[in-house]
Structure 1
Amino acid sequence: MKKLLLCLILLLSFAQPAPAQDKLEVLLLVDRPLQPEAHLYRVLDLALKNQDEPYSIKIEVIKASQPRRIKIVDSSPKDYVIALGNRREHEENLQPVYVPILLGLGIGQRIMLTRPDVEKRLKRVRSLDDLKEFTFAQGLGWSDVKILRDAGLTVQTPANPASIPGMIMRHRVEIYPRGLFEIDLEYKRYSPDHPELVIDDYLVLSYPLASFFYVRKGNSRLHSAIERGLKKAYYTGQLQDLIMSDPVYSKTLRDIHPGKRVKIEIPVKDVSENTLSALKKFTFYPGKKIGEAIRK
């Protein structure tokens, strides 16, 4: 009788359904308010839709410097995700998902916010050496800082990047390089308070820089989910379609004409092989039509 009872208990225990896996409660960490229709949010949502785990995404705004926000991601047990440029210390301290968010577009192509007198001087620039007479500004901890300084350029790094346009107007700095897809939004953000601010229409700085999603080291579940989803979204063509259907990005490509500008190549000494491989593997295909997949 006891043996029969034991057998029944064992059968019932095996018959129980496996417990459902907890939902991924993803926190997208940013330093300024971000709407769900923003491209960064849409890319993360697209990635998580293309994997099989239940999830939710919340935007968490912490107005702190980039190093401080990185520390939050690194030290918190929560499922934080942060978007950062490729930088060895970022790649060493956090766990990057090596699929470029913008497929090599935008962040490695820099357009300058400046003032009219500086814009006139920029039209005489023909080489990297010509840029050494200018003073640049970038946010504290940004990947661009080391790249520009390693190239021999003078860079100031205020803790609050929102102060840079005012610094330009007060002649404390001269040039504020912004990503190709950031420039229009940044100009609209700052020009009401600084009406003499201009977008340079002559130069484009170019260097191998990508933007990746990063998570805490050891958070393999979240990392794997984002990686699986981004790769699937890329090869099905959805990731590129998201870029090309974005009204800001498509307008920028029409208005800024990066291919018609004088290009100044900025050498980069400290790019990881993982980043170079990702930029080569997950590239943008200009001829791809909306809805078409990308062949491996």
Structure 2
Amino acid sequence: MDMWTKQLGWVALLLSTVTSFTISAQEVVASKVQSELPHTVIRLPNVHPGRDAVYAYAKTLLAESLRVTKAQYGTFELLVSDQETAQERQLRSLEHNMLDVTWSVTSKERERQFLPIRIPIMAGLFGKRALFVKAGDTRLKGVETLQDLQAFRAVLGYDWPDTKIFRANDIPVLETTYRASFRIVSEGFADMFPRSVMEIHEEAQDDTLSRDLVIDQNLIIAYPSPIFFFVSSDNQALANRITEGLLTLFETGKFQALLVANANFKQGMSLIEERTVIGIENPFLSEQSRLALEKFLPEFSASKPLEDFEATEMAVPVQVEKQ
């Protein structure tokens, strides 16, 4: 072997050593950066019976939004409360540091008190209400207008924004708890229990909730009413992380795919197609949330190609600042 060949061999060995050292150093730096990021425990509310699939979807979506932001924010784990909690109490638990994230129908009042992530996670379908009625009650068959509907009494929850929305449209409302609402209709104290098209099928299959009730075959009551993730008013960092994660999922199409693949979504869309839709106003929706609905809802259309999505356009109405 001549001197030139030996020199080339030494150069190759040196380059290999330097490259290996550089890669190892990069791995060490990356590992160190990752280890320096915090591990975040995120506390969530428990599920109401009869709403397991909707809850599972929201929890999965949240987990995915956190997973795709691990490189920037660190690892996480979700800790579910062992107690079933009403909507308003879930939100109050954010402020009292008992929960970190919840999801709820929004309103101006809730957005003043808590920090919304203005991305509609249920594609606005909680503003599309099918109706539980007493088995054998066919009186809604003749209802075609809001004026017709105002002759019937609904039952809704004490702390639900929907209760105020119905009353603002002169639809009589009896207020009670979630569980009692089913019994109120079956015993004839109210004529209908409006439920989101995404949850009514699952509730109808739970005989402990909806015994003696059926889903009305004629009507959908529709109004703009998105569900958002909420965090406490002082948790801007978590709001930023969830927002970034959701927008990333939107950009890749994973968000839309998760929702469209959900059986409750498919069943809900079929309910809307088969019924007369009566629209009512929602005077309690903020302008920012109305804009979010207008921007995001077209992205959930099954006929719209996901590649048409523009993340920068979608980011415009997503304000995570407290009003």
**TM-score normalized by the length of structure 2:** 0.78
Equivalent pairs counted in the alignment come to: 272
Decide which structure has greater helix share.
2
Equivalent position amino acid for 2:180 in 1: S
Contact residue 24 and residue 222 of structure 1 kept, 8 A? no
1:101 matched to 2:116? The reply is: no
1:169 corresponding residue in structure 2: 186
2:11 corresponding residue in structure 1: none
Shift of 1:285: 2.2
Change in Cα spacing, 1:147 to 1:194, as seen in structure 2 (3 Å) is: closer
1:89 matched to 2:109? The reply is: yes
For structure 1, list consecutive stretches of 5 or more residues without a partner in the other structure. Answer: 1-14
Contact residue 85 and residue 143 of structure 1 kept, 8 A? yes
1:140 corresponding residue in structure 2: 158
1:205 corresponding residue in structure 2: 221
1:126 matched to 2:144? The reply is: yes
Q: How do 1:1-296 residues align onto structure 2 when only pairs under 5 Å count?
A: 20-32=36-48, 38-52=56-70, 53=73, 54-76=75-97, 80-104=100-124, 106-118=125-137, 120-158=138-176, 160-189=177-206, 191=207, 194-254=210-270, 256=271, 258-283=272-297, 284-288=300-304, 292-296=306-310
Change in Cα spacing, 1:92 to 1:128, as seen in structure 2 (3 Å) is: same
Contact residue 203 and residue 210 of structure 2 kept, 8 A? no
Change in Cα spacing, 1:195 to 1:169, as seen in structure 2 (3 Å) is: same
1:127-186 deviations in Å (ceiling 9; x for gaps) = 11111111111112111011101000111121x211111111111111000001111011
Contact residue 23 and residue 55 of structure 1 kept, 8 A? yes
Equivalent position amino acid for 1:198 in 2: V
Equivalent position amino acid for 2:109 in 1: E
Equivalent position amino acid for 1:248 in 2: N
1:225-283 deviations in Å (ceiling 9; x for gaps) = 111011111122111100111133224434x2x12311101112221011111101112
Provide the C-alpha distance between the structure 2 equivalents of 1:270 and 1:164, rounded to a whole number of angstroms. Answer: 23
Equivalent position amino acid for 1:38 in 2: A
Equivalent position amino acid for 1:183 in 2: I
Matched residue SS, 2:277? strand
Equivalent position amino acid for 1:259 in 2: E
Change in Cα spacing, 1:48 to 1:194, as seen in structure 2 (3 Å) is: closer
Provide the C-alpha distance between the structure 1 equivalents of 2:62 and 2:135, rounded to a whole number of angstroms. Answer: 38
1:8 corresponding residue in structure 2: none
Matched residue SS, 1:111? strand
Shift of 1:62: 3.0
Provide the C-alpha distance between the structure 1 equivalents of 2:85 and 2:198, rounded to a whole number of angstroms. Answer: 23
Matched residue SS, 1:153? coil
For structure 2, list consecutive stretches of 5 or more residues without a partner in the other structure. Answer: 1-28, 311-323
Contact residue 115 and residue 197 of structure 1 kept, 8 A? yes
Shift of 1:36: 10
Provide the C-alpha distance between the structure 1 equivalents of 2:183 and 2:152, rounded to a whole number of angstroms. Answer: 17
Contact residue 128 and residue 196 of structure 2 kept, 8 A? yes
Provide the C-alpha distance between the structure 1 equivalents of 2:152 and 2:190, rounded to a whole number of angstroms. Answer: 8
Shift of 1:55: 1.3
**TM-score normalized by the length of structure 1:** 0.85
Contact residue 43 and residue 80 of structure 2 kept, 8 A? yes
